[in-house]
Amino acid sequence: MKIGIDSIAFSTSKYFLKLETLALHRREDYEKYYVGIGQKQMSIFPPNEDIVTIAVDAAQKATASTPDKNDIDMLIFATESSFDLSKSAGIYVHNFLQLREDCRVFDLKQACYSATAALQLAKSYVRENPRSKVLVVASDIVKYLPNTPGEPTQGGAAVAMVVGENPRVLTLEPYSGIHTTDVMDFWRPIYKSEALFDSKLSVYNYLKSLNTTLERYLTLSRLNTSDLDCICYHAPFCKMARKANQQTLRNKFLENSLIYGSLIGNSCSASVYICLLSLLDNTPESLSQKRVGFFSYGSGSVAEFFSGIISEGYREALSPENSRRLIEDRMEVPFDEYESFSDGINMLPSSKYQNIGAVTLARIENDKRIYRSISSLS
Ligand code: HMG
């Protein structure tokens, strides 16, 4: 039975900051951000946009071509930027998508790795329930403290994937190389909006985990690196993926997979799947039947190397023009406005700002986040 990604779409903020602007205000050489780290822009989130509003937008797009939304009987929301330690962010998405009531909904957390755990769980579930579809949503907004080395690698996005039988985009293959180790390379205590990190340790552990998981994957699958036509890496910043690629093999499609990430910034759980979309949307030659390797890394840490085969006719399930427009139509914010967005989940919503999709965080009342369809407010 072929199981995998039947449709995929992403969303991000309506606003961005140029890293040139950040470099100017932080008195850094712009070349360090552009060449050294490999980033050009980062998505910046106004108070009325959060992991739920962008997740709804991505999920509405990904399910638009699903013939019957009633086939979706599980929704897994992968995030590490949750604002509620109890209620699942997925329940809001379930509500706005009007999915059936007997649909299991829950969140998963393990830094940037959780969407991969969700995808593998979805695969097993569909194998047991071939008529079911699972909606996997990965949504994260990454914030670091100002004036820290992490600041130019902020960003955020949501990716939604419908997982089912006979997928139109990519069939997941059976083998995975997995590696878990207790390491303090990146963490976010529950009382903080910004993540803390150990730069050098995080880069070291990422590359070490890549080695271990790739070796395990190759042993289990009995494949060689030459059997992989390209690799999508978790890309907290593009230079990280370039370093990873030097360590594994040189693949000619790498730069296509990094186009969206260089403009959005780190999107944590969504990042490796943003790379997949960027690869599929921006590679002119056909990738049908090509084997794509995936390296998923979540600090802390859990890493997994797995692969999938691109479906014949995958282009029909994608909307590259819409994806590109989503990024191109964002509005640049001046530096003082960027600074005013820095309170993260504690900011109060304001109708002054636009949302990317059809849902907005309208207000926070008695510590309850109240979301509304934008059409219902006008
Ligand atoms: P840093 O200390 O600011 O930068 O940290 P650096 O001094 O190491 O320089 C970076 C590169 O820029 C170097 O190149 C410099 O030579 C170069 P490299 O040696 O790497 O090839 N450079 C220049 N190039 C051109 N012109 C110049 C110039 N100056 C220097 N003038 C770092 C950079 C990205 C590590 C920092 O931003 C950081 O700590 N970020 C947060 C942590 C992170 O993203 N770690 C990545 C691995 S962990 C991960 O991926 C998980 C994560 O997504 C979280 C999760 O799982 O939830 C983060």
Q: Among residues 90, 122, 138, which one has the least CA distance to residue 298?
A: 138
- CB of 200 closer than 6 angstroms to any ligand 1 atom: no
Is 112 annotated as catalytic? Answer: yes
Name the architecture of domain 3-170+316-377. Answer: 3-Layer(aba) Sandwich (3.40)
Is 80 annotated as catalytic? Answer: yes
- CB of 31 closer than 6 angstroms to any ligand 1 atom: yes
- CB of 197 closer than 6 angstroms to any ligand 1 atom: yes
Q: Is the pLDDT of residue 343 over 80?
A: no
Going by CA atoms, what residue is nearest to atom 17 of ligand 1?
36
Residue 299 CA: which ligand 1 atom is closest? 56
| Torsion on CA atoms 93, 95, 101, 107, rounded to nearest 10 | 30
Q: Is the pLDDT of residue 74 over 90?
A: yes
Q: Is the pLDDT of residue 222 over 80?
A: yes
Q: Distance from the CA of 199 to the center of ligand 1, in angstroms? A: 7
Residue 197 CA: which ligand 1 atom is closest? 42
Going by CA atoms, what residue is nearest to atom 3 of ligand 1?
149
- CB of 32 closer than 6 angstroms to any ligand 1 atom: yes
Residue 235 CA: which ligand 1 atom is closest? 50
Q: Is the pLDDT of residue 6 over 80?
A: yes
Q: Band the pLDDT of 377: cuts 50, 70, 90.
A: confident
Catalytic residue among 49, 94, 103, 112: 112
Helices and strands, number each (H, E), in the chain: 12, 16
For the stretch 315-334, pLDDT in tens is: 999 999 999 999 999 999 99
Q: Where are the domains of the chain?
A: 3-170+316-377, 172-313
Cα 55–57–61 angle (5° rounding)? 115
Going by CA atoms, what residue is nearest to atom 16 of ligand 1?
36
Going by CA atoms, what residue is nearest to atom 41 of ligand 1?
150
Task: Check if 3-170+316-377 and 172-313 are the same fold.
Answer: yes
Half-sphere exposure of 377 (CA within 13 A, CB side): 14
Task: Specify the CATH class of 172-313 in words.
Answer: alpha beta
- CB of 199 closer than 6 angstroms to any ligand 1 atom: yes
- CB of 186 closer than 6 angstroms to any ligand 1 atom: yes
What global pTM score does this model have? 0.97
- Could you tell me if 241 and 233 are in contact, meaning their C-beta atoms sit under 8 angstroms apart? yes
- Read off the pLDDT of each residue in 146-151 and give the average, rounded to a whole number: 95
